[in-house]
Structure 1
């Protein structure tokens, strides 16, 4: 009796969701992952473009002084990006390395109370409802890992980020996603996952995204949660 040939199933090139948003703190690998998943599933990309904010470099040097202008500029940028997202959907599968809904996370973290109230009033004037992602992939890593990655990629203005700010940012993200319920969220421990350089890691995560069925699920490489 002959042995039937081994059948290898190729990974699906069809995007499992129409609109995927990748989120997480600076240095966690959002843009790299979005780019690789977009290539795998033939999705259009829309990236955050923080370099377009003329106040960002000064903000990293003097957070208190430049927090308000940097957040107002991001609010204006987000309003434009909401229009870009809406223009692509639903005809095009889209993946982004940001959520427009995160503006308040950064503003609340960095602004004094009176600036926060001013920001809220001004942002409300330009805010437009954003399309809700079909899936959010929240990448997590410890402040120590993020700091190491920021040092390694050596972007000049990012090297000025303080340890205190990075720790506060990680806490703010965890709190934000603990309460976030507008879309399904896959929380991924990104400390030992390298989808940029490892095809195996990319495939592992892509398969986990494709099997996502619940509202909140967790993925840690080497475990099943």
Structure 2
């Protein structure tokens, strides 16, 4: 089947493997890789240490960075290759609703509403789900310094917020993959299966597709 996508975005909770899958698929399909620039956010380590104090500056720094990347994607030359990203712009508000107070959220929303209207729209969104146990395992395995402060309760809140968001998501075709028992990094059969479903099966608008490889 001829490739039907110019822009694929992969989403999911911290530790679910969205960046890994984006990298693997971009290598297979010679796609331009656009990754979230979380390392450039100077407030992120402080946020995980003191969530209430640093939520707003962390959120605004992410909003500015993500919007700049969206503008770069919109200006993509027509002859450049497909784009695969490890986030969608709208995900920013999931974190804002979870972490900001009412006054902060109102200010944030006034800016977000302007930006989201002129952000890049994916041709397909892939939402990776996982159990909190698996997320905790993955985070411990990669052992990033600033992620050592992430609590199980925060991941539970975040997972619930993500599930709620994507249950109502209808801006792009949506594919849902439960990765709790899936290892597309080390198991080529799992990666092949996912690749087949994305690129060799018809994707219908506003359709939720659950994929659990054998």
Q: TM-score range by the shorter chain?
A: over 0.9
> Which runs of 5 or more structure 1 residues have no equivalent in the other structure?
1-11
Q: Give per-residue Cα distances to partners, 1:145-178, cap 9 Å, x unaligned.
A: 1011101110010111011110000000000001
Structure 2 counterparts to residues 113-132 of structure 1, below 5 A? 113-124=102-113, 129-132=118-121
Give the CA deviation at 1:86.
0.9
Q: Which runs of 4+ in 1 moved over 3 A?
A: 122-128
User: What is the aligned counterpart of 2:17 among 29, 36, 39?
Assistant: 29
Is 1:18–1:94's contact at 8 Å kept on the other side of the alignment? yes
Aligned residues between the structures: 210
Query: What does residue range 85-124 of structure 1 map to in structure 2 within 5 Å?
Result: 85-88=73-76, 90-91=78-79, 92-124=81-113
Structure 1 equivalent of residue 203 of structure 2: 213
CA RMSD, Structure 1 to Structure 2 (Å):
1.6
Q: Provide closer, same or farther for how the CA distance between residues 89 and 164 of structure 1 changes in structure 2, counting only shifts above 3 A.
A: farther
1:142 to partner: Cα distance: 0.9
Query: Are the structure 2 counterparts of residues 212 and 65 from structure 1 closer, same or farther at C-alpha, using a change threshold of 3 Å?
Result: farther
Distance 2:162 2:115 in 1: 24
Task: Provide TM-score, normalisation by structure 1.
Answer: 0.88
Which runs of 5 or more residues in structure 2 are unaligned? none
Rounded to whole Å, the distance in 1 between the matches of 2:87 and 2:196 is 21
Deviation at 1:212, TM superposition (A): 4.0
TM-score (norm 2): 0.92
Q: Which has the larger radius of gyration?
A: 1
Q: Which moved more, 1:192-201 or 1:27-36?
A: 192-201
